Amino acid sequence: MRSLPLPLDPVSVLCVLTKCSHLGCVKMGSQLHALVVKLGVSGCVRACNALMDVYVKCELVGGVRRVFEDMGLKTVVSWTVVLEGVVKGEGLENGRKVFDEMPERNEVAWTMMIVGYVENGMTREAFELLREMIFECGFVLNDVSLCSILSACSQSGDVSLGRWVHGYAVKEIGWDVGVMVGTGLVDMYAKCGRIGAALVVFRNMPRRNVVAWNAMIGGLAMHGKGKDVVDMFDSMIGEGVSPDANSLGRERMWWRSAGEGW
């Protein structure tokens, strides 16, 4: 691009940086970093945010910090990107320092810290931050935040926090929490050893897509409930939901583990 007589403006740089971020292309990102400085585009907040995102995707926290420190104007997005980079590259302790320094916090920043605490088994810290976010700062968790926290509970086995999130979702949304959150609850309860609770949530979902069915079938298989796996698979087909590769893989896996063949 530089070999052609074409002007490079902030929009052009932003487009290329966004592509580098998606591809995790650190070499090109580093070259563009130098170009950003040379062309004086470093005053473009969006370009700097995109450049930091490249470094975050490549897990180069030093690059993230350099760009951030050289920025003049820092938006809440800038702070959130550097928070993600520090949490990934330096751990929760340093991430919390950045979080505490943030002049403004968005829902992404709060959720990032809460998920980090849950994944590291720090339930008390996660719960305290969750309560502060909701009751002191007035945030209402959206589907993405709810599912992120539920996924972290699934990985850590933290059913107590998962139950709290379930109660919160019902209070804020109603009994029909939607397919996305409902599936997250099914997965969380199943992976935390509460297959009965997972079934209750699943059976009370007014709408269920193939992802929800897969979560329930996978949970039953995980708990060794072979007959229920087969029955659930048949019910899915009976309700007109076409199985995908995950559905078929889970049923085959159960048959193999049961020694029945396929």
Q: Tens digits of per-residue pLDDT, 166-214?
A: 999 999 999 899 999 999 999 999 999 999 999 999 999 999 999 999 9
Q: Is the pLDDT at 236 greater than 50, yes or no?
A: yes
In a domain, 152, yes or no: no
Give residue 43's pLDDT.
Answer: 66
pLDDT over 90 percentage in the chain:
62
Let me know if residue 29 belongs to a domain.
yes
| This model's pTM is above 0.95 | no
Is 250's pLDDT higher than 50?
A: yes
pLDDT digits (tens, 9 = 90+) for 6-54: 455 555 555 655 655 555 555 555 566 555 655 555 567 888 888 888 8
Domain annotation covers residue 181: no
Higher pLDDT, 142 or 37: 142
The domain in which residue 63 lies consists of: 1-90
The verdict on residue 7 lying in a domain is yes
- How many domains is the chain partitioned into structurally? 1
What pLDDT shows up at residue 261?
42
In a domain, 149, yes or no: no
* 98 in Cβ contact with 86 (< 8 Å): yes
**Residue matched to tokens 């007035």:** 138
- What is the chain's mean pLDDT, rounded? 85
- The DSSP secondary-structure symbol of 259 reads T
Is 58 inside a domain boundary? yes
- The stretches of the chain forming alpha helices (DSSP H) are 10-23, 26-39, 45-57, 61-70, 76-90, 92-101, 107-119, 123-131, 143-156, 159-173, 179-191, 195-203, 210-222, 226-238, 245-258
Judge whether 34 lies within some domain: yes
Is residue 62 a part of any domain in this protein? Answer: yes
Helical H segments across 71-106, by residue range: 76-90, 92-101
